[in-house]
Amino acid sequence: PYQWTKQVASHFGGTRDGMILHWPRGVPERGGLRHQFSHVIDVLPTILDCIGVPVPFSVDGVPQQPIEGTSMRGTLADPRAPEHRRTQYFEMCGNRGIY
């Protein structure tokens, strides 16, 4: 729905999508909306946070890259929660954008 498809990342065209989540124990509200900005890099930290699993620093002795995302759990619990990130840099096909 945004202009410029994926060619101008700062306009979010083709790069901004909704997320549907079903987690009755964590988000008892039905049909709620959240307007805080999150990025795909926040999905894994959120899942790990929600299930109580720490971020793995190594897997089978192999060091892992640091996870740059942050958990969206506070946003899930409270639609009025403050933004969990202030700045997000992203790139698509050589075009860069910053939120």
| Backbone angle region of 92, left / alpha / beta, with phi > 0 → left and psi within -120 to 50 → alpha | beta
The model's pLDDT over 32-51, given as tens digits with 9 standing for 90+, comes to 888 888 888 899 999 999 99
- To the question of pTM greater than 0.95 for the whole model, the response is no
CA quadruple 56, 59, 63, 65: dihedral positive or negative?
negative
- Domain assignments of the chain as residue spans, ordered by start: 9-98
Amino acid at 18: G
Averaged confidence pLDDT in the chain = 82
Model confidence at 25: pLDDT above 70: yes
% of the chain residues with pLDDT over 90: 33
